[in-house]
Amino acid sequence: MGLMYDRGQGVPENWVEAHKWLNLAAGAAQGPRLLVRVRNAVASKMTLGQLGLARQIAVDWRPKPER
């Protein structure tokens, strides 16, 4: 999802959403080095405000319960 939002593939380009998903993926992956590099590349395109927002959204994110 993070790469899709970064590149606007199938969804509107949105670096805040891209960073959120990449941050969540990097935190959950066994070998997150590549994900961390991609996340940091997205972060380099963002303002400090966008970066702070993306980080807060990632911290607050919770999966929706299955029905």
- CB 22, CB 39: distance < 8 Å: yes
pLDDT at position 59 over 80 = yes
Q: What predicted TM-score, i.e. pTM, was given to this entire model?
A: 0.69
pLDDT at position 57 over 70 = yes
Distance CA 1, CA 11 (A): 9
pLDDT at position 12 over 90 = yes
Tokens of residue 28, six digits: 């959950």
pLDDT at position 47 over 70 = yes
> 17-44: per-residue pLDDT in tens?
999 998 888 877 665 678 888 888 999 9
